[in-house]
């Protein structure tokens, strides 16, 4: 009995060491504030969190650097890499491909940091099927009207793309609201409040009381 317990303990210990810390997933409609919250988190805890750099086939926005904000790639190159099994999750959004490569997560894990992923709903569904055991956070906008206002203010999208994002947002909000899909839903009606909520949740759930987030989520 004692031996079995010890063996099981060693098995989970080595699995944990092998995998490194649980990754953190931030999901939410475009414009809900994921990047803003992430930027703050990475600024406050640069040694604790590391951003997993996603691949995308969309064009870089002004100021975005290849390999820093995204790995910018082509549809052909990305499709070939997906076929080779190099991606954990992929999604098509506003006619562009997005995805997280195994290497991107591994690169962060190797530094001992918690890997942060900013991914779409489809990606969340896929990552739930892996053994990465992520902590899943949904960032909820106060309303569609406010989301539209923020996206317009951000001024990064053409009208058509903006409308697509808003349409998509309705489905994403529905998914985010369903109990069992995320460990926490953070309402971003006020940035300081939302950040504090995220920070407190992570302090509790990624450091000491990891069990709290181990409640099974819907696959």
Ligand X SMILES: Nc1ncnc2c1ncn2[C@@H]1O[C@H](COP(=O)(O)OP(=O)(O)OP(=O)(O)O)[C@@H](O)[C@H]1O
Catalytic residues: 61, 154, 165
Nearer to ligand X by Cβ, of 19 and 164: the residue is: 164
Which structure tokens are listed for 75?
Answer: 């549809």
Q: Least CB distance from residue 33 to ligand X, whole Å?
A: 3
Residues at the site binding ligand X, with contacts judged by CB under 6 A: 28, 30-36, 150, 153-154, 188, 190-191, 194
Q: Least CB distance from residue 152 to ligand X, whole Å?
A: 9
Cβ 218 vs Cβ 171: under 8 Å: no
Nearer to ligand X by Cβ, of 12 and 156: the residue is: 156
Which structure tokens are listed for 15?
Answer: 């699995």
Nearer to ligand X by Cβ, of 65 and 84: the residue is: 65
Q: What is the CA radius of gyration of the chain?
A: 18
Q: Least CB distance from residue 89 to ligand X, whole Å?
A: 15
Which structure tokens are listed for 111?
Answer: 């530094």
Nearer to ligand X by Cβ, of 78 and 194: the residue is: 194
Q: Least CB distance from residue 150 to ligand X, whole Å?
A: 3
What CA–CA distances, in Å, run from 56 to 60, 100, 121, 174? 9, 9, 16, 25
How far the first Cα of the chain sits from its last, in Å, is 33
Tokens 């099927």 label which residue?
Answer: 129
């Amino acid at each position: 009995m004692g031996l079995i317990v010890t063996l099981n303990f060693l098995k989970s210990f080595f699995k944990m060491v092998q995998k490194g810390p649980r990754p953190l997933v931030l999901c939410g409609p475009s414009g809900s504030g994921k990047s803003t919250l992430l930027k703050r988190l990475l600024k406050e805890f640069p040694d604790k969190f590391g951003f997993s750099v996603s691949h995308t086939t969309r064009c870089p926005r002004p100021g975005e650097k290849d390999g820093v904000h995204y790995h910018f790639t082509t549809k052909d190159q990305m499709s070939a890499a997906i076929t080779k099994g190099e991606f954990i999750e992929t999604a098509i959004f506003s006619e562009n491909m997005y995805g997280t490569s195994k290497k991107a997560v591994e690169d962060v894990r190797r530094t001992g940091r918690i890997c942060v992923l900013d991914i779409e709903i489809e990606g969340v569904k896929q990552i739930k099927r892996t053994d990465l055991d992520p902590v899943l956070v949904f960032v909820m906008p106060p309303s569609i009207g406010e989301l539209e206002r923020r996206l317009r203010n951000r001024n990064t999208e053409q009208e058509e793309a903006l409308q697509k994002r808003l349409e998509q947002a309705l489905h994403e909000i529905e998914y985010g609201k369903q109990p069992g899909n995320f460990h926490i839903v953070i309402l971003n009606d006020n940035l300081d409040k939302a950040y504090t909520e995220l920070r407190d949740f992570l302090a509790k759930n990624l450091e000491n009381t990891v069990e709290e987030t181990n409640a099974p989520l819907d696959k």
